Amino acid sequence: MAIQRCSQARSIQSLWLTGDWFGRLSARKGRQRSVHMMRRVFIAAILFVAVWAPSLLVAAEAGRADLMGKLCGDAASLGDVGRALVGIAADGSQDERAWATPVARAVIDRKLTCDTKGAVVISGEGSFDALTREQRVAVEGGRSPFLNLKNRALFETAVAALALRTAPDPTQRGAALRTLERQAAGLPEHLFEAAAEQESDAGLRAQMTAVAQAAALNSADPAKRIGALKRISATPDRRALTQVRALVADPAYAGDPEFKRAVDAAIATIERGITAGDVLAALYNGLSFASILFMAAIGLAVIFGLMGVINLAQGEMIMIGAYVTWMVQEGLRRLAPALLDWYLIIAIPAAFLVTAAVGIALEAILLRHLYRRPLMSLLATWAVSLFLINLVRVTFGTQNLNFVTPFYVAGGVPVIGDFIFTWNRMFAIAFAVLTLGITWGLMRLTPLGLNIRAVTQNRTMAGCIGIPVRRVDTMAFGLGSGLAGLAGLALAPIYSVNPQMGQNFIIDSFMVVVLGGVGTIVGTVVAALGIGQINVLIEPMWGAVAAKVIVLMMIIAFLQWRPEGLFAIKGRRK
Partner 1 sequence: MKPLASDRAFLILLAAVLAVVLLLVISIATPFGLSAYLANVIGQLAAFAVLALSLDLIWGYLGILSLGHGLFFGIGGYVVAMHLLKHSHEVTGKVPDFMQFMGWAEFPFYWTGFGFFPYALLVTAVVTLLISGVFGYVSFRSRVGGVYFAITTQALVYVAMLLMFRNDTGFGGNNGMTGFTVVFGWPIGGSRVVIAMAAVSVLMLGLTLLGCRMLLAGRFGVLMIAARDDEVRLRTLGYETLRLKLVVWCLSALIAALAGMLYVPQVGIINPRLLAPELSLEIAVWVAIGGRGHLVGAVIGAVLVNAVKFWLSVAAPELWPFILSGLIVLVVLVFPNGLVDLAKLKLVRPTGLKHMASGTPELR
CB of 428 to partner 1, least distance (A): 23
The stretch near partner 1 (CB under 8 A) out of 59-67, 121-129, 349-357, 386-394 is: 386-394
Task: Determine which residue in the list 58, 339, 464, 549 makes contact with partner 1, applying CB under 8 A.
Answer: 549
Q: Does 470 bind partner 1 (CB under 8 A)?
A: no
Nearest to 122 by CA among 109, 100, 154, 151: 109
CB of 379 to partner 1, least distance (A): 6
Burial class (CB in 10 A: 0-12, 13-18, 19+), 513: buried
Partnered with residue 338 across adjacent β-strands are none
Q: Does 574 bind partner 1 (CB under 8 A)?
A: yes
CB of 380 to partner 1, least distance (A): 5
CB of 279 to partner 1, least distance (A): 27
CB of 285 to partner 1, least distance (A): 19
CB of 318 to partner 1, least distance (A): 16
Residues 344, 334: Cα–Cα separation, whole Å: 16
Which DSSP state fits 400?
A: P
Task: Determine which residue in the list 514, 521, 527, 536 makes contact with partner 1, applying CB under 8 A.
Answer: 514
Residues 163, 157: Cα–Cα separation, whole Å: 10
Site residues (CB under 8 A) for partner 1, limited to 283-322: 304, 308-310, 312
Cβ proximity to partner 1, 300 vs 489, nearer residue: 300
- In sequence order, the 6+-apart residues with CB closer than 8 A to the CB of 102 are 121, 123
Contact status, residue 88 vs residue 188, Cβ threshold 8 Å: no
> From residue 351, how far is each of 39, 328, 341, 397, 425 by CA, in Å?
64, 9, 17, 20, 20
Cβ proximity to partner 1, 417 vs 517, nearer residue: 517
Helix, strand, or coil here: 520? coil
Residues 268, 274: Cα–Cα separation, whole Å: 10
Which DSSP state fits 537?
A: H
Site residues (CB under 8 A) for partner 1, limited to 387-416: 387, 389-390, 394
Q: Does 25 bind partner 1 (CB under 8 A)?
A: no
The stretch near partner 1 (CB under 8 A) out of 52-60, 134-142, 385-393, 412-420 is: 385-393
The stretch near partner 1 (CB under 8 A) out of 215-223, 351-359, 430-438, 510-518 is: 510-518
Amino acid at 469: V
Task: Determine which residue in the list 384, 428, 492, 536 makes contact with partner 1, applying CB under 8 A.
Answer: 384
Q: Does 540 bind partner 1 (CB under 8 A)?
A: no
Q: Does 374 bind partner 1 (CB under 8 A)?
A: yes
Residues 69, 72: Cα–Cα separation, whole Å: 6
CB of 376 to partner 1, least distance (A): 5
Mask for 316-355, x = binds partner 1 (CB under 8 A): ----------------------------------------
Task: Determine which residue in the list 261, 373, 444, 471 makes contact with partner 1, applying CB under 8 A.
Answer: 373
Task: Determine which residue in the list 35, 537, 552, 566 makes contact with partner 1, applying CB under 8 A.
Answer: 552
CB of 506 to partner 1, least distance (A): 8
Burial class (CB in 10 A: 0-12, 13-18, 19+), 156: middle
Site residues (CB under 8 A) for partner 1, limited to 48-87: none
Strand ranges of the sheet holding 118-121, from the earlier edge strand across to the other edge: 112-115, 118-121, 128-129
Residues 186, 488: Cα–Cα separation, whole Å: 53
Task: Determine which residue in the list 1, 545, 570, 571 makes contact with partner 1, applying CB under 8 A.
Answer: 545
Nearest to 310 by CA among 497, 509, 149: 509
Helices (H), 336-415: 343-365, 374-396
Contact status, residue 300 vs residue 505, Cβ threshold 8 Å: no
Task: Determine which residue in the list 379, 410, 433, 445 makes contact with partner 1, applying CB under 8 A.
Answer: 379
Task: Determine which residue in the list 511, 527, 529, 531 makes contact with partner 1, applying CB under 8 A.
Answer: 511
CB of 541 to partner 1, least distance (A): 15
Task: Determine which residue in the list 35, 346, 364, 366 makes contact with partner 1, applying CB under 8 A.
Answer: 366
Which DSSP state fits 141?
A: T
CB of 411 to partner 1, least distance (A): 32
Q: Which residues of 319-338 are buried (b: 16+ CB within 10 A; e: fewer)?
A: bbbbbbbbbbbeebeeeeee
Q: How many CB atoms lie within 10 A of CB 249?
A: 8
Under rule CB under 8 A, how many of the chain's residues touch partner 1?
Answer: 41
Residues 365, 455: Cα–Cα separation, whole Å: 21
Cβ proximity to partner 1, 179 vs 500, nearer residue: 500
Nearest to 284 by CA among 440, 397, 428: 428
Task: Determine which residue in the list 35, 167, 378, 434 makes contact with partner 1, applying CB under 8 A.
Answer: 378
Amino acid at 51: V
CB of 386 to partner 1, least distance (A): 5
CB of 187 to partner 1, least distance (A): 45
Positions touching partner 1 (CB under 8 A) are 304, 308-310, 312, 366, 369-370, 372-380, 382-384, 386-387, 389-390, 394, 507, 510-511, 514, 545, 548-549, 552, 555-557, 559-560, 563, 573-574
